[in-house]
Amino acid sequence: MKITQSCFNLILKNYYLFEKKPKIAVAVSGGPDSMALLFLLNVWIKKNKGSLVALIVDHKIRKDSGKEAKTVCDYLKKHKIRSKIINISKKNVLKKTMSEARQNRFLQMVRYCKKYKFLHLFFGHHNNDNIETFLLRKIAGSNFEGLRSMQHKTIINGIQILRPLLTFNKLAIIRFNKSNNIEYIEDPSNDNLDYSRVTVRKFLLQESTHINNIEKDFNLIQKYYPFYKQKLFQNFHKINTHTFNDEIVVNYKKFAMIEKEIKIKIIEIIYKFLMPRRNILRYAKVIKALDLIEKKSSITTNLAGMHINKGNVFISFML
């Protein structure tokens, strides 16, 4: 699909909600994806009389990262686009891996948005990125929810994380940049085969015959996920007897009849409801708690700060 400003504006209208005169932040690495997104959003924000800031993170993984950040900042200044360089503290750069850099970058940008009251943070991930994520998670044995990969919209710590380019592929982005004379830099780490994502990307490029099958699997996950979610909450409502701000009680006999993976997801849902500010539960911890629930007639245990009391009839999940 070709990227045009009108098509992009329609995606923003159909997928997202914004306040009047929206205040938005854009994650900008200087690569082709984030630069295309930034220039598309810059036109859109002017039309909607809002404000925009490009967030450039100096991740300090490479010795030239500071110079690259300054180059991007200077380029945006010429185009009258406001930008802010966020420096990662050296104490947070321990492993010098791609995942660590990504995590540091993401956390710092969310904190910036929270501090300066930006409700929306945009990322330039596209369809190829999502296929790579899907394949990496499939190899790692991810569950159904994980295989959904990246979504158009998620909410982290009260900030909307928006990815409007997921509809488009990399080639469409490159063509958009070329036709609009948008300059960008190439990240040398994209050629480093020590990184699993780069290896998967190279595999997909070389083994193009597999791409259709991988995309077919990915699209099936997207298609049937709403039905999975519906079944999940139907099961939850069947077993739920009481819901309070600090406690959820479920019927144990009904809970015991549910499939194991659904039980795990229900425990995760309860945890997220009771402890919304906590990180996602580790799968292994949930399995351990579930084993205790199923093996013992009466238990009191703790799951990452959530208290679980099981009797003969009910299971109580409490703060």
* Lowest-confidence segment of 206-220, 261-275, 290-304 by average pLDDT: 206-220
Contact 56, 83 (CB under 8 A): yes
Q: Residue range 17-30: average pLDDT?
A: 96
| Domain 5-206 in CATH 1.10.3720.10 | no
> Do the domains spanning 5-206 and 231-318 agree at the CATH topology level?
no
Q: Contact, 239 vs 266, CB < 8 A?
A: yes
Chain-centroid distance, C-alpha 290 = 27
The domain ranges of the chain are 5-206, 231-318
pLDDT for 192 equals 61
pTM above 0.85, yes or no: no
Mean pLDDT of 166-171: 95
pLDDT bin (cut points 50, 70, 90) of residue 97 is low
For the stretch 235-260, pLDDT in tens is 999 999 999 999 999 999 999 999 99
Instruction: State the DSSP H helix or E strand holding residue 15, giving kind and residue range, or none if neither.
Output: helix 5-15
Phi and psi at 4, nearest 5°, equal -130, 160
Average pLDDT over residues 29-50: 97
Provide the pairing of β-strand 83-87 with 51-58.
Answer: parallel
Phi, psi (rounded to 5 degrees) for 224: -95, -5
Q: How many CA atoms lie within 13 A of 48 on its CB side?
A: 20
d(CA 218, CA 210): 12
The radius of gyration of the chain from alpha carbons, rounded to an integer in Å, stands at 22
Whole-number average pLDDT of the chain? 90
**H or E, element range at 219:** helix 208-239
Q: Does domain 231-318 have CATH number 3.90.1150.10?
A: no
Strands 306-310 vs 299-303: parallel, antiparallel or unpaired: antiparallel
pLDDT for the residue numbered 93: 54
Q: Cβ distance 270 to 235 under 8 Å? A: no
Predicted confidence (pLDDT) at residue 193 exceeds the cutoff of 90: no
210 pLDDT band, cuts 50/70/90, is confident
